[in-house]
Amino acid sequence: LDWHYSAVCSPILPIRFTKDFTTSPSVNLNIDISGYGLYKTIGLNKSSDLSGLYNTPKDKMVTFTLKDNLGNKIGEGVKPANSCNTVDISVTGNLPVPRNIPAQILITLPDGFTKAQIEKLLNGVKSLTDSQRTAVLKYTHPSDPNYKFKMDQAAYQKLMDVALSR
């Protein structure tokens, strides 16, 4: 980047938007430096996310193009060559509107767990000792391995007691 060896706007090139905005999804600000092409793309959710640009070449024209997530141009600003004055990015298009989308999550658990299912779960818990695993299985399935053990608050407390006993 040879412009770093030439004059740059110091300390930053001030940037502001003609309209304050907050948006989701984010919009993209493409920064194009004359003679170099696209220098950088910055994703913005708020106009306050960007107030200046460091190491901007003083002798080059810089074009700032604001685009929505579909690539439509919704704003533009230009820094003329040999200038470090504040760039006003004119927001002319429609910004994406944040939307709340209602969602509902339903989690269902099986009616109960067989001895084999609980054994598989216990084997995944590396911090349990063999004696703790045996104690849990003895509690959940004292005789019938096909019995469907159901978890309730009392069972949860008992299992916590077993797990914490070392």
**pLDDT tens digits for range 1-52:** 455 577 899 889 999 999 999 988 899 999 999 988 999 999 999 999 999 9
Q: Virtual CA dihedral for 61, 62, 65, 71, nearest 10 degrees?
A: 100
Contact between residue 78 and residue 86 where contact means Cβ atoms under 8 Å apart:
no
For the sheet containing 52-54, what is the strand order?
37-46, 22-33, 62-67, 73-79, 87-91, 12-17, 52-54
DSSP state of 154: H
The amino acid that residue 127 corresponds to is S
The amino acid that residue 131 corresponds to is S
Instruction: Report the percentage of the chain scoring pLDDT > 90.
Output: 52
Residues 141 and 78: their CA atoms lie apart, in Å, by 74
Domain boundaries, the chain: 2-91, 115-164
**pLDDT tens digits for range 117-136:** 999 988 888 888 888 889 88
Residues 42 and 54: their CA atoms lie apart, in Å, by 13
- The tokens for 57 are 């070449």
